[in-house]
Chain A
Amino acid sequence: MPLTEQEKSELKARARQLRQDIVDVTVWSGGAHIGGALSSADLMVALYFKYARVRPQEPEWPDRDRIILSKGHSGVGLAAVLALKGYFPRDLLRQFNHFKSPFGMHLDGNKVKGVDASTGSLGHGLPISVGLALGARFQKQTWRVYCLLGDGECNEGAIWESAMSAAHFKLDRVTAIVDRNRLMIDGATEQVMALEPFAEKWRAFGWHVIEIDGHDFDAIGRAIEKAHATAGQPTVIVANTIKGRGVDFMENQVKWHYGSMDSALADKAKQSIARMS
C-alpha cells in the first residue's frame, strides 16, 4: 500500500527531528560521522517508523525484524533514531563518546538496547544478515533482516562474498539498502575505487535490484514493499542520497564525513534542517 499523505508528513517530521538530534549528538560527543548519518536518516526513519516490526519496549522480542547497520560509523544516526523510537531516553545520548558511556561512535550491541549487531568495521553487516536470515529459516520464523550498507563499504570483499551467499541461499527475507551518497573518506567513490556499474554488479550476483531516490518516502516505501513481495531472491535497494543531506553547508562535502561542531555551527545546521520541505 502506498503511503498516505498523512503518513508521509509524519515520516518527514520524524526525519527532521532525527536530523536535529544527530546534530545535537555530534555536539555532545565532540565529533561524529555526521555526513553519512544525515544521508541515511530518511531510510532509517522509514524502517523504524513504518516498515520494520520492532518493539522499543521489548528490544529483544524474538520475532522482531533485525536491522543491521553495516555502515556502523553511522552509530550516531542509529543511536538517535533508537532514542526517537523510545528505546531509551534521549538524554542518555549526552554521554556519547564519554568515559564508560555505552555509546561510542560505533555502537556496542551488548550495551545499547535495540542494536542488533556491534558493527563499525566495514563489511561485517551483510554476512551477519545472511546468518540471521538462515537462522530464521531454520527455525521457520518469518522475521526479516534489513541491512544498511555504505557505498564505499561495498569495496570490501566480504560484501560480495555475502552477496553471493544471500542469492545462493535465496534469502528473500534479506533486504540490503545501500546509502549511495557517492562519497567515502578520501573522496568520491568513483574516484577512489569505482563502483559503477553498481546496480548491474548486484544483478550479476543474483539480487533483485531497485534504484530509488533515498530521500523520497514514496519511493522508499514502494521499494520496501516490492522487496517484501519478492520471493526466492534477496533485494537490494540502491538509495541515491546526498551526504550531509539537510545541512546546506555539509551537503556533498567530503570533509563532513566526520566532524565536530560548536553550538554556533550547530545552530546554523539546525536552521538549515528546519528549512527542509
Chain B
Amino acid sequence: MPEVTGTTWTVYDANTMTQTEIYGRVLCELAEQEPLLIGMTGDLSKSTKIGIFEEKYPQRFINVGIAEQNLMGVAAGLAKAGMRPVVSTMSIFASMRAGEQLRTDICYQNLDVKIIATHGGVSFGHAGTTHHATEDLSITRALANLTVIVPADGIETANALRAAMKIRGPVYIRLGRGFEPTHYQSEDYGFEIGKAVPISDGTDLTIICCGIAVYHAAEAARVLKESDGLSVRVLNVHTIKPIDEDAILRAVRETRRILTVEEHNVIGGLGTAVADVIAASGKGCAFTKVGLPDCFSEIGYPEDLYAYYKLDANGIIEKVRELMGKEFEPDEDWEDEV
C-alpha cells in the first residue's frame, strides 16, 4: 500500500467530531489508497460510525445484519480471498459474541482483518452491563497473532488505524463510545505500534495508562506537581500487545512506583500485562492496578462511573497518593540489566 498522504487530524477536528467520527473519515481516506479495503458491520453502521465510510463507498461495504459470528467469519473469508476487511461492532460483541471466530477464523489463520471495537469499557455505562466490555482486553491479549491497541482519543485513533493498515495481520482497536475528551493536539507526536508515548516525564512515580485514562492521568500529573510537589511520569501505553517492555522497565528503574490505569477489569488487561513484564524482570517496585475491581460495573453515565472506579483525574490523584506511601524492597543492582 502506498504511503497515505491524506489530511492530518488536529485538535480542531477532535473538538468538532467524536472519536468514532474521526475513524470513519480516516477509513475513507485509507480506502482511496487501498482499493481492497472493505468495511463491515452488523447493524451498527450508525452506532459505530463506520456508516461514514458506507456513505462514501456503498459498494465496498457489507452489513451482515445482527449476526456477529457471521460477521467475523465472513471477514475471515474475505481476507483469505485477498481483501482487507475493516470490521466494526461493539467491543462486547467483537471480543465475546464472536470470540471464537475472532480466535480461530481470524487470529489462528493470521488473517489481515482489522477490528474496530467501539463502546469499550464502560463508555456505554447507562446501557447496562450487557453492553459494558470490561474483559475484552484480557481476552484479546491472549489471542496469539493479534495486535491490541487502545487509543487515547480520536487523534490517536487516526494514527492507530493508519498504522494498522500498514501491517498485514489482525489488529484489534478498542474505542469508547466516541464522546470521550481529547488529549492530543495534533497527530505529530510519533505514534508507533508497540511504542509507549511519554506524556510527562517524572522521577517519583509512573502512571501507565491507555484509552480515556491518558487524558485524566495527564491532568492528575499536572495537579500533583503543583499540590504535592510530585514528579509524575505518565506513559501512554496505547498498544497492549505487543507491549513496550523497555519503557515499562525504564519506568520501574527510574521511578520505582508504578500505577496502571485502564477502563477494564483489573484482571488480564493493561495492568496485568505490565505486571507480567515487571515480574519477569525480577525487579521489585511498589505497584497498584486501577480499574474495575473484578466486578460487573454499576449502571450509570460514563463520567459517574469513571469517578466511581477512580479512573478520572481525582481518582488517579487519590491512588497516586496511596501508592506514594507504599513500601518496596530497595534494589541497587540495575545497571547491567536494563
Residues of A within 8 A of B (CB): 29-30, 72, 75, 97-108, 118-123, 152-153, 155-157, 184-186, 192-193
Contacts and interface: CB of A to CB of B under 8 A. Distances in A.
Given A105-B131, A155-B43, A157-B67, 13 more contacts: A97-B299, A104-B125, A105-B127, A108-B128, A120-B131, A121-B92, A122-B66, A157-B69, A184-B66, A185-B43, A185-B46, A185-B47, A192-B65
Counting from the closest, the 6 A-B pairs by CB-CB distance are: A104-B128, A193-B65, A120-B130, A99-B300, A155-B65, A104-B299
A160 B215 CA distance: 44
Contacts of B63: 186, 192-193
B66 A29 contact: no
Interface stretch (B144-152, B184-192, B301-309): B301-309
Nearest to B64: A193
A186 B51 CA distance: 9
The winner among B43, B66, B300 for most chain A CB atoms within 10 A is B66
Nearest to B129: A108
18 contacts: A97-B299, A99-B305, A104-B126, A105-B131, A108-B299, A119-B130, A120-B128, A120-B130, A123-B66, A152-B65, A153-B66, A155-B65, A157-B69, A185-B43, A185-B45, A186-B46, A192-B43, A193-B43
Nearest to B67: A155
A186 B49 CA distance: 11
B126 A97 contact: yes
A152 B66 contact: yes
Interface string B304-323: 11001000000000000000
B126 A29 contact: yes
Nearest to B65: A193
Given A97-B300, A99-B305, A106 B128 contact: yes
Contacts of A186: 41, 43-46, 51, 63
A98 B130 contact: no
Interface string B122-145: 000111111100000000000000
B308 A107 contact: no
B295 to A, nearest CB: 12
B131 A152 contact: no
Nearest to A98: B300
A157 B98 CA distance: 11
Nearest to B47: A185
Main secondary structure of the interface of A (DSSP, over half): loop
A103 B299 contact: yes
Contact of A156 (B46, B66, B128, B130): B66
A264 B128 CA distance: 27
A152 B64 CA distance: 11
Contacts of A98: 126, 299-301
B299 A102 contact: yes
B70 interface: yes
Contacts of A29: 126
B93 interface: yes
A10 B81 CA distance: 59
Contact of A101 (B45, B47, B97, B300): B300
A120 B46 CA distance: 18
B127 A104 contact: yes
A120 B127 contact: yes
B299 A121 contact: no
Contact of A184 (B65, B93, B125, B298): B65
A185 B126 contact: no
A186 B97 CA distance: 20
Nearest to B90: A121
Contact of B301 (A99, A120, A152, A155): A99
B128 A75 contact: yes
A155 B128 contact: no
Contacts of A156: 66-67
A98 B45 CA distance: 27
A108 B45 CA distance: 26
Given A97-B301, A99-B304, A192-B65, A105 B43 contact: no
B70 A157 contact: yes
B20 to A, nearest CB: 15
Given A121-B92, A156-B67, A157-B69, A72 B46 contact: no
Contacts of B300: 97-101
A109 B64 CA distance: 30
Contacts of B301: 30, 97-99
A204 to B, nearest CB: 19
B304 A72 contact: no
A119 B46 CA distance: 22
Contacts of B298: 99-100
Contacts of B304: 99
